[in-house]
Every structure is written in structure tokens, then in C-alpha cells.
């Protein structure tokens, strides 16, 4: 499977979160290299898409999540690429903090565990919808150029 713009944006937001949450110089240097590499990949991807080196049909790779929709409402995902990227960054921040709670799962009361697992699932659904929306919006922009 090849990367899409949404997937690359997702990876970059996660690398930036890791940078923000570490003070280890060795890890920070590695993360800075990863961020630079991802930025270059995004630039290359945009160039290739704009010049027709990536077929329009391959600009998306829908996650096609299969899940029970009732009771698993996800925040609305819409807007232009910048807004969608911002929503992706926001959901990844919220997801990061919920995952952090899970590292101490044995000390979380059972009712709170249920809420945590539910929140992780819903945030991950929103994350995938953001990735898919970025890809679809970008595909639409390229198709209309």
C-alpha cells in the first residue's frame, strides 16, 4: 500500500507530538530527522500529484472502517485541506492523552476503563475519517485543476 497525503500528515503530527513530549536529546534528534523526512515526502507527494506522476485514482486509500455506528458518533469532519489537517492534529493530540491514561490501566477503576476504551475507539474513528477526508479533498482539488 502506498502512502497518501492524509497518511503522511498523520505520521507528521504523531512525530511532532513525540518531539513535544520528550526531552531525550538522542530521541529528539531522531524525531527531527523523521519530521524533516516526512516534510520532504509530503512535498514530493504534492509535486508528483500535481505533475500527474500519481494517478488521481491512487490519491485515496479509504480506511473503510467497519464498526457499529449507533453509539459511536464521531465529530463531523469537513472543510478544506488545512482545516482537515488541523482537525487531524487535534484528534491526534486528544488520542495521545487518552493512550497515556492506558499505560496505567491496572490503576483505573473498571467504569473508567470502559470509558477510556470507548474514547480510544471513537477518537481512532475520527482520526481515520480525517485522513480519508484529506485524501478525498486533495483528490478533488487535483481532479479540478
pTM: 0.90
Please, which residues have CB within 8 angstroms of residue 13's CB and are 6 or more apart in sequence? 88, 89, 92
Q: What is the largest CA-CA distance in the chain?
A: 54
Q: pLDDT value at position 66?
A: 74
Residue keyed to cell 500500500: 1
Could you tell me the three cell numbers for 28?
A: 529528539
Q: pLDDT value at position 42?
A: 97
Q: pLDDT value at position 65?
A: 72
DSSP 61: -
- Domain segments of the chain as ranges: 5-143
Q: How far apart are CA 59 and CA 45, in angstroms?
A: 10
Burial class (CB in 10 A: 0-12, 13-18, 19+), 80: exposed
Residue keyed to cell 480506511: 63
Mean pLDDT by 10 residues, the chain (145 residues): 88 97 97 97 96 94 76 86 96 96 91 91 93 96 90
φ/ψ (deg, to 5) at 102: -65, -20
Amino acid at each position: 500500500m502506498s502512502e497518501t497525503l492524509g497518511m503522511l500528515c498523520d505520521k507528521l503530527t504523531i512525530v511532532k507530538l513525540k518531539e513535544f513530549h520528550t526531552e531525550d536529546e538522542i530521541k529528539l534528534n531522531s524525531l527531527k530527522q523523521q519530521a524533516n523526512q516526512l516534510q520532504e515526502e509530503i512535498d514530493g507527494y504534492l509535486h508528483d500529484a500535481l505533475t500527474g506522476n500519481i494517478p488521481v485514482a491512487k490519491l485515496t486509500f479509504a480506511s473503510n472502517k467497519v464498526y457499529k455506528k449507533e453509539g459511536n458518533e464521531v465529530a463531523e469532519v469537513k472543510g478544506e485541506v488545512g482545516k482537515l489537517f488541523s482537525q487531524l492534529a487535534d484528534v491526534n493530540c486528544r488520542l495521545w492523552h487518552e493512550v497515556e491514561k492506558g499505560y496505567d490501566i491496572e490503576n483505573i477503576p473498571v467504569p473508567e476503563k470502559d470509558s477510556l476504551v470507548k474514547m480510544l475507539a471513537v477518537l481512532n474513528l475520527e482520526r481515520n475519517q480525517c485522513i480519508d477526508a484529506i485524501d478525498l479533498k486533495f483528490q478533488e482539488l487535483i481532479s479540478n485543476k
